């Protein structure tokens, strides 16, 4: 099945709402419900969105409403890292990095 639209979650983290974490949860939860009402069943996220906070917010929403697991296809991405010394982005597509990031994403 070809999917035309995904719900992007790059903004699902607190600094996009000036550290109002409770509000971000509500905004993200409403966005997911609205997407479902529009027939959008695919969510796209990444481990670097909000330094991982986007995945955490989505994980909390899925834990609150476990029926979403049967309604939504969730995809995440990995392979990008931020340098701790100069805050630049670099790529790490090594097996170890990918496995560790997948495991971290699944825990959220």
* Residue 91 known to be catalytic: no
Q: Tell me how far apart the alpha carbons of residues 39 and 4 are, in angstroms, rounded to a whole number.
A: 10
pLDDT score for 61: 96
pLDDT score for 41: 95
pTM to 2 decimal places: 0.82
Structural domains of the chain, ranges and CATH numbers in brackets:
7-107 (3.20.20.100)
Active-site choice (13, 49, 90, 91): 49
pLDDT score for 106: 92
- HSE-up (13 A, CA, CB side) for residue 66: 0
pLDDT score for 4: 83
Tens-place pLDDT, residues 30-64: 999 999 999 999 999 999 898 888 999 999 999 99
Place of tokens 């971000």: 24
Tokens found for residue 96: 């170890």
CA 38-44-49 angle, to 5 degrees, is 130
Beta partners for 73? Answer: 42
Higher local confidence (pLDDT), 84 or 35? 35
């Amino acid at each position: 099945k070809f999917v035309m639209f995904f719900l992007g979650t790059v903004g699902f983290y607190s600094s996009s709402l000036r550290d109002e974490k409770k509000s971000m949860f509500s905004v993200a939860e409403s966005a997911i419900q609205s997407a479902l009402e529009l027939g959008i069943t695919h969510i796209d996220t990444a481990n670097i969105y909000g330094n991982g906070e986007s995945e955490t917010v989505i994980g909390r929403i899925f834990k609150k409403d476990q029926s979403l697991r049967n309604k939504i296809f969730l995809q995440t991405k990995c392979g990008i890292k931020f340098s701790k010394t100069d805050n630049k982005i670099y790529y790490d597509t090594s097996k170890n990095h990918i496995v560790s990031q997948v495991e971290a994403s699944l825990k959220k």
